[in-house]
Amino acid sequence: SSELTQDPAVSVALGQTVRITCQGDSLRNFYASWYQQKPGQAPVVVIYGKNNRPSGIPDRFSGSSSGNTASLTITGAQAEDEADYYCNSRDTSGNCWVFGGGTKLTVL
């Protein structure tokens, strides 16, 4: 298997831009997907693939990838974006999946 590494916590001022990163060897071969989880709720996918947003996800959320690093960018962060964010991808075998440790986003 392989690991995905995320910063444990990130903060952003209201209305500013923040990037949350996810590093792992498997990201060289597989796309990451990103999940937002608010307290007491199930996770919700916000970005998948190269840069795809499910319906209902605001366009301030975007994704990108380079080498072994995937990124989730929130352009113009809102108070309601305060949440835990997790990246996910297949592991290097391609037969199992792995989550990053999660990033707690605080909107100041």
Partner 1 sequence: EVQLVESGGGLVQPGGSLKLSCAASGFTFSGSAIHWVRQASGKGLEWVGRIRTKPNNYGTTYDASVKGRFTISRDDSNNMAYLQMNSLKTEDTAVYYCIRHQYSSSSGDWFDPWGQGTLVTVSS
Binding positions for partner 1, rule: CB under 8 A: 1, 30-31, 33, 35, 37, 42-45, 48-50, 52, 54, 84, 86, 88-90, 95-102
**Among residues 51 and 75, whose Cβ is nearest to partner 1?**
51
Using an 8 Å Cβ cutoff, are 49 and 57 in contact?
Answer: no
Per-residue tokens: 72: 């989730």
Of 18 and 89, the one with the shorter C-beta distance to partner 1 is 89
The residue among 81 and 84 lying less far from partner 1, judged by its C-beta, is 84
Shortest distance, CB of residue 5 to partner 1, whole angstroms?
12
Give residue for tokens 């952003």. 12
Close Cβ partners of 108 (under 8 Å, ≥ 6 residues apart)? 11, 12, 13, 14
CB of 22 to partner 1, least distance (A): 12
- The angle formed by the CA atoms of residues 89, 54 and 12, to the nearest 5 degrees, is 75
